[in-house]
Amino acid sequence: MTKKKMTFALAFCNRGFMPGELIYGAREDMIKAVTDAGYDYIAMDADLTRYGGIETRDEGMLYAKWLKEHDGEYDGVIFSMPIFADENGAITALQDAGVPILMQAYPDEIGKMDFAHRRDAFCGKFSVTDVFTQYQVPFTVLKPHVVHPLSEKFAENLRDFAAICRVVNGMKRFTIGCIGARTTAFKTTRFDEVGLQKNGITVESFDLSELIFKVNAKADDDAAVLAKMETLMNYSDFTKVPQEKKVMLAKVSVVIDEYVEEYHLDSLAIRCWNEMEQILRICPCVLLSELNDRGIVTSCEIDLTSAVSMRAMALASEEPTAVLDWNNNYGDEENKVILFHCGSTAQSLMTQKGTVTSHKMFDKGDPGSGWGTNEGRIRPMKTTISNCLTVDGKIKIYASEAEFTADPIEEAYFGCAGVCEMPNMEDKMIRLARGGFKHHTCIGVGHMKDVLKEAFTTYLGYDWVDIDKE
């Protein structure tokens, strides 16, 4: 996946009677912290106000005007409080920022509590957050309450805030392509299209028959088809796959790419059975795997709400995600579960390159119809599990943290799977069942529950379901 370099707009504050000279050092500190972390920044010219910060309503208006002039150039705002802040200046400056805002306040130092050095930012931070709450302007506060910009803890804060910004800005408005109707056998994958639209998510629907028509119109020697075949052969192990199946898989992949380009799709949900197997005689799992590795979040079994969760985690982690079944208990291990899907998992999440085979379930009743599933095992890693559903125009979502282990899964077990361990798993299963969540969950790379919760609840207005509560 392509990783986006974040840009933060920097703002600094003071209250008129406090030692405003402390702002000068704060500007230097914050610029160094942001650039050392690998991010870009923009900052208003320090000469435009008395200390280069915001300490009056007029200076707040000046900053708001500057921010508007740079609209679209920044992903979030860092509001640095080196001293007790002026809340009137602060809210005037940032009430229309339109992006996440990180509140950072400097710590005082014992031995430097005289008037020339004392900051009182510990107190002033509440002055700002109180007024922002009154104005209903969302903001982010992280631990610790006060933190120096050049500390390792603030570097962690920056990483989390960048992830929050990616999720919020990427989920505010995007488009999911829905190729095919809801899989008939799964009422569990129902969704409210209008409810999603209320949350900025546009669904573009395409009949599966149209895809089949487009695929069948492609010539075997079409340049795009030949190029796609080469891409796919390099992506996974196609050694066992008959030539005609390789050609058909390439054609389907090309048509999907055409939908993505023509309709500016950010994510996909695809009806992957039974028609593709019955009519085209292939199973598209490996194509979904390749799309996810390419950064185009794609869910199988027309599970569109899983694509929502997958996109959020992909934005947070800047790594591929996957949708999996809560599939099997792992012996008597009450905190372990085998998470599985046929083969749509991105290979970057697997222990090694997958093997493209014919789907055993389809082959059972219709031999030769299932070529295209990508078999392998999910690599050991820290992970976050999440999924959502639509209820009464709202998005209801959960997230929890777990870990994929190196526990073996017998070779005869088909598809792509991994053993996942999570604390108090049995309690979580009860809460998921009571919450009306489906048999699918989505996984991402790394622990990011707090990032997701902040993005979903503070900025996006999703309903959070805590499955970790004691």
Q: Give the pLDDT confidence of 147-157 residue by residue, as tens digits.
A: 999 999 999 99
Report pLDDT digits (tens) over 179-238.
999 888 889 999 999 999 999 999 999 999 999 999 999 999 999 999 999 999 999 999
Where does residue 230 rank: exposed (0-12), middle (13-18), buried (19+ CB within 10 A)? Answer: exposed
**Arithmetic mean of pLDDT over the chain:** 95
The whole-number pLDDT of residue 17 equals 64
Does residue 289 surpass a pLDDT of 80?
Answer: yes
Q: Comparing C-alpha atoms, which of 459, 439, 457 is closest to residue 449?
A: 457
Instruction: Show the tokens assigned to 160.
Output: 């989390």
CB contact at 8 A, 45 and 142: no
Tokens read off for 294: 């390419």
Q: Is the pLDDT of residue 407 over 70?
A: yes
Distances from the Cα of 196 to the Cα of 181, 202, 231, 454, angstroms: 17, 7, 34, 19
- Once rounded to an integer, what is the mean pLDDT over residues 454-466? 98
Token reading at 102: 């990180």
For residue 144, cis peptide bond before it (omega within 30 degrees of 0)? yes
Per-residue model confidence (pLDDT) at position 109: 83
- Peptide bond just before 292 cis, omega within 30 deg: no
Answer yes or no: is pLDDT of 298 > 70: yes
Q: Tens of pLDDT along 35-93?
A: 999 999 999 999 998 878 898 999 999 999 999 999 999 999 999 999 988 899 999 99
pLDDT on residue 184: 83
Query: 279 and 226 in contact (C-beta within 8 Å)?
Result: no
d(CA 456, CA 67): 25
pLDDT at 3 over 80: no
> What is the mean predicted confidence (pLDDT) over 446-451?
98
**Is 112's pLDDT higher than 80?**
no
From 158, 98, 124, select the one nearest 17 (Cα to Cα). 124
Distances in Å between the Cα of 5 and the Cα atoms of 332, 351, 396 are 45, 28, 30
Cα–Cα separations (whole angstroms), residue 3 to 6, 374, 461:
9, 26, 26
Q: What percentage of the chain carries pLDDT values higher than 90?
A: 89
As a whole number of angstroms, the distance between CA 326 and CA 330 comes to 11
Nearest-10 crossing angle of helices 243-263, 285-293: 50
Residue 23 has pLDDT above 90, yes or no: no
Parallel, antiparallel, or unpaired: how do β-strands 394-404 and 463-464 relate? parallel
pLDDT of residue 201: 98
pLDDT bucket at 18, cuts 50 / 70 / 90? low
In order of start, what are the domains of the chain with their CATH numbers?
7-171 (3.40.50.10940), 174-464 (3.20.14)
